[in-house]
Amino acid sequence: MLKRVLFTFIIIIVFISAIYFGYDFYYNRELRQIENELNEIENVEVKNIWGHEDLTLEEISARIYIKNKGEIVLNNLSKDVYNYPNRIEISEIGGLSFTNFSCVNSIGIGSSIDVGKNSKLGKLIGKEFKTVKDVINNYDLILKTLKNLKQTPELNYFESKNEEKYLIIQKEKSKDKDPIFNLIGVKNAFEFAKTLKWKNCNCKKI
């Protein structure tokens, strides 16, 4: 009788372990794949990699060290949000991090920049990045362009047909975290955004 109970207990433990490790394997499969692909790029080391934990792991970001250059944090690397070369999000490069305030029909707040081919910054940089490797190989060009812009406490202003944007560039390390947690402290930032000079009447009224 005791042997039967012990055997049943062992079977249950093995079954639970198989489910746990199987779930972990499939849940983190894309993250591991992205990490491996990044580490295969010459002179690149992934220092940290994370994503938004939901039913699936989404919006994967990675902090990358490039030998003899510095670190860069790339966002939106997972297939659910990956949109190179149109949209390429960076939340830190060369020790610079960002806060941006945008206005379309309402005020939006973010902590990354877009260097995709359709963005204002992408056009300032003057080069299209089709892959993550392209971004890494042009680290110096991107950093040089950003350093030529106004640095905190001054603000950069960009305007396109449908959007206005203010960008703050600060010499400050960003925090490696799930993008949803960038909303922490958003109330103060939102109050600041309301003091900015917007041309769009919808943002003036907020």
Q: Please provide the size of the chain in residues.
A: 206
Report the pLDDT value the prediction gives residue 130, as an integer from 0 to 100. 96
pLDDT one digit per residue (tens) for the chain, 206 residues: 656 656 565 666 654 554 444 445 445 788 899 999 999 999 999 999 998 766 567 789 999 999 999 999 999 999 888 899 999 999 999 999 999 999 988 888 999 999 999 999 999 999 999 999 999 999 999 999 999 999 998 999 999 888 899 999 999 877 776 655 455 555 678 888 888 889 887 786 65
Alpha carbon dihedral 71, 72, 78, 81, in 10-degree steps, equals 170
User: What crossing angle do the helices spanning 29-39 and 2-27 adopt, rounded to 10°?
Assistant: 50
**CA pair distance 95, 72, nearest whole angstrom:** 8
Kindly tell me the sign of the dihedral angle through the C-alpha atoms of 196, 203, 147, 111.
positive
